[in-house]
Amino acid sequence: MPCLPRRLFLLSAFAATLMAGPAGAKDLPMRPVLTLEAARSIASAAEAKARAEGWPCVIAVADSDGLPILVERMDDAAVPAGVDLAPGKTRTAALFRRPSGALEDAINGRRPAALSARGFVLMRGGVPIGVGGQIVGAIGVSADTPEHDEVIANAGLAALVR
């Protein structure tokens, strides 16, 4: 009966698991979530900056999984492809947990292998949105220049801090 000690061990482990009880919701980690209202505030601030500077654009805001919350195309947006680029920049920033411009820098610098990241937009204009040290989403902008994209996106981020 060499199997008996193993069976006793397994039964003891199973009994200990049952006695410990199931994990409750209180044991799960909590994280902040980017709401539609917050996304609207961010997009509104970004649009106000774009309008003030005369840089019509496309603005997208996504959750931490890179899924769109909203996409807004201003009248006379400079780049028609922005309706694809802005959400792509947003998704890239959310999923990589860093500005999409960092990936543009990588492919133009010491890490051209970043080009193998298929399905992402490796261009400036996507910026992650952080709250309490956690990424809750991202904003992506497609205007007329990469510099303007980042200025507009950062203006949107500033609305969350207020």
Instruction: State the number of CA atoms in the 13 A half-sphere of 23 facing the CB.
Output: 4
pLDDT of residue 31: 87
Greater pLDDT, 127 or 13: 127
Q: Residue ranges per domain, the chain?
A: 36-161
Q: Which fold has domain 36-161?
A: Beta-Lactamase (3.30.450)
75: tokens are 């009248």
128 forms bridges with which residues in the sheet?
Answer: 138
Taking only the tens place, the pLDDT of each residue in 109-149 is: 988 888 888 899 999 999 999 998 999 999 999 999 999 99
Q: How far apart are CA 23 and CA 37, in angstroms?
A: 32
Does the predicted TM-score (pTM) go above 0.85? Answer: no
Q: How far apart are CA 30 and CA 37, in angstroms?
A: 20
Closest CA to 56 of 85, 77, 84, 29: 77
One-letter amino acid for residue 134 of the chain: Q
Yes or no: say if 114 and 15 are a contact pair by the CB < 8 Å rule: no
Name the 3-class secondary structure at 60: strand
